[in-house]
Structure 1
Amino acid sequence: MLRHLRPALVLLVVLTAVTGLAYPLAMTGIAGAIFPAKAAGSLVERDGKLVGSSLIGQSFTSARYFQGRPSATSAADPADAAKTVPSPYNAAGSAGSNLGPTSAALAERVKADVERWRAENPGQAVPVDLVTTSGSGLDPDLSPEAALFQVPRIARTRGLPEDRLRDLVGRQVQGRLLGILGEPRVNVLALNLALDDLAAK
């Protein structure tokens, strides 16, 4: 029996060392050398201060900023660890809501969000990504249509011309990867930083 067990244990140790230690360390080192910013989390700095990551959405609630998709992430309730409370864009709790199309709670939440957005911009169709969460709950991007939908509100609150804001959104649109993969999108953090720059001018 020892004759059969020994090769299995040796193979287990060797494969664990190669696939569990050597390979991940090598890939991390190569990624850090070739793509240092991406390997470090695609962090975004402004005036030497960390303001976020281009990969993880943030909760912009002020009427002065473009707002991203809703986030269904949660965190432990400080009052009762057995329960959770909403915690938008919580990277430690990345997940969707797990509510299906027949969920009354989901239907009510979407309906309330649609009414809120319609009140902000009457007569316009509300882009679907303004009222639906992503699978991760951390989506940092919006469709160009969802960003343009918010232009009138931001123009009013900041006293900026709508055409300049539309131009700003247009300059922030990222196309499909390799021209075919994905959809055109706008990174909300990058757009809001560009908005602050425009307002400062």
Structure 2
Amino acid sequence: MKNIFFQTIKLTVAFLVFFSVFYTLLIFGVAQAAPNRGRGKLITDNGKTYYKNIGQSFTKKGYFNSRPSAVAYNAAGSGGSNKGPSNPEYLAEVQQRIDTLLILNPGIKRSDISADLVTASGSGLDPHISVLAAKMQINRIAKERNLDPAQLNTLIEQHTDKPLLGLFGPHKINVLELNIALDKVK
């Protein structure tokens, strides 16, 4: 019994040292070889720096709205709400988002609402929306900014990321990049 106890302690210390020191240094070294040295993808616009791969909140009428966040866009607390589709609190939250979306975007039918505009992603920080979600917002933004909807359609097409190798994943749009480009449209 005594031998097993000491072996367990030795193994615990060995794993503690390996995973807290060596593994951490290995991952840090790999990150240093990555683009931007493991600091994420950054976008600088008008003197401000943003993380391209972390969802941001856009609530002004003249911007494309982001996907809702279960963590209030706080990257330190990434995660979903863990509420299932039968949870009354979750259903009330989604219903409130649908109602808000219908008020802000008149002319959209409830049945045409893209799910990614009313439900949060698993991480709560998804920086992308679907092409359908972006197109649903064109009329509101065109009216607010006094732009031709065709200009916004072109902007959406220019900022649509294609699936990996043309096969894996959906067409998607980074909302931050799209809104930065939108600010440059005259």
Q: Distance in 2 between matches of 1:49 and 1:155?
A: 25
Retained in 2: the 8 A contact 1:121–1:149?
Answer: no
CA distance in structure 2 between the partners assigned to 1:157 and 1:3 by the alignment: 75
How has the CA–CA distance of structure 1 residues 3 and 45 changed in structure 2, closer, same or farther, with 3 Å as cutoff?
Answer: same
Identify the structure with bigger relative contact order (alpha carbons < 8 Å, sequence gap 6+): 2
CA pair 18-185 structure 1, distance change in 2 beyond 3 A: same
Whole-Å Cα distance in 1 between the matches of residues 7 and 98 of structure 2?
Answer: 63
Q: Which has the higher strand share?
A: 1
Which residue of structure 2 aligns with residue 77 of structure 1? none
Per-residue CA deviation, residues 5-42 of structure 1 (Å, 9 max, x unaligned), is 777666555544443312321332232223225x1122
- Post-superposition CA distance 1:29-88 (Å, at most 9, x none): 232223225x112222124431x2112111111001111111121xxxxxxxxxxxxxx2
Is 1:115 the counterpart of 2:113? The answer is no
Distance 2:144 2:107 in 1: 17
Letter in 1 for 2:116: D
TM-score when normalising by structure 1:
0.79
- Report the 3-state secondary structure (helix = DSSP H, G, I; strand = E; otherwise coil) of the residue aligned with 1:142: strand
Return the letter of the residue paired with 2:150.
Answer: D
2:155 to 168, 176, 187: 168
Give TM-score scaled by structure 2 length.
0.85
- Per the alignment, residue 58 of structure 1 pairs with 56
Aligned-residue CA RMSD (Å): 2.3
Say if 1:19 and 1:47 are closer, same or farther in 2 by CA, change over 3 A.
same
**How far apart, in 2, do the equivalents of 1:122 and 1:114 lie?**
13
* 3-state SS of 2:43 partner: strand
- C-alpha distance 100-162 of structure 1, shift in aligned 2 (>3 A): same
Q: Secondary structure at the match of 1:198?
A: coil
Q: Does the CA-based 8 Å contact 2:70-2:81 persist in structure 1?
A: yes
Offset, 1:141: 0.6
- Aligned residue pairs total 183
Larger mean Cα displacement after TM superposition, 96-105 or 142-151: 96-105
Which secondary structure state, in structure 1, belongs to the residue aligned with residue 173 of structure 2?
strand
The answer for the alignment partner of 1:81 in structure 2 is none
Q: What amino acid sits opposite 1:49 in the alignment?
A: K
Alpha-carbon distance change, 3 to 112 in structure 1, aligned in 2, over 3 angstroms: closer
Structure 2: gaps of 5 or more residues:
none
| Partner-residue secondary structure (3-state), 1:178 | coil
Residue of structure 2 equivalent to 1:22: 22
- Matches of 1:34 and 1:157, distance apart in 2: 40
The one-letter code of the counterpart of 2:128 is D
CA distance in 2, matches of 1:98, 1:15: 31
